């Protein structure tokens, strides 16, 4: 009896392996996302590396990612391009998404010049609010008063965090809020323009199509805003080690996103993102020595509770849809079996009548 009880209580090795792999995917994504954020802050901040050119940095990332994606697709044959990606789909779907992505990256990188890492992570808590609001605007989701109340609670928490920010910069806040708005619109348009048409892109094919678009859209503001300043800065020398490793981290982060969502779920990434935000706030306060006030933490704590409730609601909705899908499949299977049974009875009766 003792032996049987011991074997029944032991964890299935396959289940244990899947759990450990899931934690590994989460850890890899958190580490790479953490590294890219801190690395970008280090490069752009005037008190650190002092290279305040966010458009240039974004273009370096996109040039590196598009070149590496091209090699992986055409030289190493690592992935195949989707046959459904026609010229019309590219112009009508990928190009608008690429334009929004370039604006999101440009503004978010620009915010690092003016705001602390910790405060930027607090402002990013508004992402669910932006995604839900834009989804309702585009009629991808229906308006629900309880969900909107949740979104207002998140916004209220972020507002308190902003009120308690010691180094508040209105221009930096405007840049980060703009980045959140463009990123949320991009995520909604991916569902409308690509997912609804049955087109799914992994990180490599996404960068293969989207990164060149970002380069094109960023080129005009770069020529007008940053190129004249860079041309006058004759003392600047391109540091291949710094910008190369920074771009490699950005590319690896895209792969980690695909790995995490593909092996777990987008909801897992949202939950892991909350953990990453707290780690970044702690790192910003303890290592970078950014000032984090009590009001900051209280406000972000309220926003965190709202985001946690939102993720819980999404999980419950996913479970309900899955249960409904399984119930429908069971009903369909039961109907099929009854139909086959009736057909069998009909054949049997026909044979008896002929005999």
What DSSP string runs through 261-300?
Answer: HHHS-HHHHHHHHHHHHHHHHHHHHHTS-----HHHHHHH
Query: Looking at the domain assignment, is residue 282 inside a domain?
Result: yes
Contact present, 177 and 112 (Cβ < 8 Å): no
Query: Looking at the domain assignment, is residue 210 inside a domain?
Result: yes
Region of 268 please: left (phi>0), alpha (psi -120 to 50) or beta: alpha
H-assigned helices in 45-144 = 54-70, 87-89, 95-114, 117-123, 127-137
Look at the chain and report how many structural domains it folds into: 1
Query: Looking at the domain assignment, is residue 190 inside a domain?
Result: yes
| Stretch (H or E) spanning 155 | helix 145-163
Domain that holds residue 178: 14-231+238-328
Query: Looking at the domain assignment, is residue 334 inside a domain?
Result: no
**Under 8 Å CB-to-CB from 71, ≥6 apart: which residues?**
none
The pTM assigned to this predicted structure is: 0.84
Angle at 83 between CA 78 and CA 89, to 5 degrees: 115
Per-residue pLDDT 10s for the chain (355 aa) are 455 544 444 667 777 787 888 888 889 999 999 999 999 999 999 888 989 999 999 999 999 999 999 999 999 988 888 888 889 989 999 999 999 999 999 999 999 999 999 999 999 999 999 999 999 999 888 899 999 999 999 999 999 999 999 889 999 999 999 999 999 999 899 888 887 777 878 888 988 999 999 999 999 999 999 999 988 876 667 889 999 999 999 999 988 887 787 677 767 777 788 889 999 999 999 988 889 999 999 999 999 999 989 888 888 887 887 777 777 777 677 777 777 667 666 665 555 555 5
Query: Looking at the domain assignment, is residue 88 inside a domain?
Result: yes
Q: How far apart are CA 307 and CA 176, in angstroms?
A: 18
**3-state percent helix, strand, coil for the chain, nearest multiple of 5:** 85, 0, 15
Query: Looking at the domain assignment, is residue 221 inside a domain?
Result: yes
Contact present, 160 and 295 (Cβ < 8 Å): yes
Angle at 257 between CA 255 and CA 263, to 5 degrees: 100
Query: Looking at the domain assignment, is residue 25 inside a domain?
Result: yes
Q: Can you read off the two tokens belonging to residue 207? A: 């960068």
Q: How far apart are CA 218 and CA 223, in angstroms?
A: 9
Query: Looking at the domain assignment, is residue 319 inside a domain?
Result: yes
């Amino acid at each position: 009896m003792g032996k049987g009880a011991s074997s029944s209580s032991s964890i299935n090795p396959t289940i244990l392996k899947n759990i450990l792999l899931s934690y590994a995917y989460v850890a890899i994504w958190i580490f790479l996302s953490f590294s890219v954020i801190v690395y970008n802050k280090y490069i752009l901040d005037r008190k650190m590396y002092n290279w305040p050119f966010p458009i240039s940095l974004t273009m370096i990332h996109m040039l590196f990612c598009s070149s590496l994606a091209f090699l992986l697709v055409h030289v190493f044959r690592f992935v195949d391009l989707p046959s459904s990606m026609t010229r019309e789909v590219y112009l009508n779907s990928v190009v608008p998404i690429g334009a929004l992505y370039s604006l999101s990256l440009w503004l978010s990188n620009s915010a690092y010049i003016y705001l602390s890492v910790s405060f930027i992570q607090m402002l990013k808590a508004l992402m669910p609010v932006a995604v839900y609001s834009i989804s309702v605007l585009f009629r991808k989701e229906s308006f629900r008063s309880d969900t909107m109340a949740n979104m207002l609670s998140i916004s209220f928490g972020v507002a308190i965090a902003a009120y308690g920010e010691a180094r508040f910069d209105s221009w930096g806040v405007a840049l980060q809020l703009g980045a959140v708005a463009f990123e949320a619109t991009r995520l909604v348009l991916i569902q409308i323009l690509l997912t609804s048409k049955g087109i799914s892109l992994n990180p490599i094919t996404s960068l293969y199509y989207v990164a060149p678009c970002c380069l094109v859209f960023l080129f005009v503001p770069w020529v007008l805003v940053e190129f004249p300043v860079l041309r006058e800065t004759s003392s600047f020398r391109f540091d291949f080690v710094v910008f190369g490793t920074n771009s490699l981290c950005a590319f690896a982060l895209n792969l980690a996103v695909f790995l995490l969502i593909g092996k777990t779920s987008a909801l897992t990434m949202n939950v892991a993102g909350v953990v990453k935000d707290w780690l970044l706030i702690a790192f910003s306060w303890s290592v970078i020595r950014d000032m984090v006030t009590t009001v900051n933490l209280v406000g972000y704590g309220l926003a965190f509770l709202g985001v946690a409730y939102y993720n819980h609601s999404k999980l419950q909705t996913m479970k309900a849809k899955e249960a409904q899908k399984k119930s429908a499949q069971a009903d369909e299977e039961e109907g099929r079996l009854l139909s086959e049974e009736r057909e069998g009875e009909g054949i049997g009766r026909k044979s008896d009548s002929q005999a």
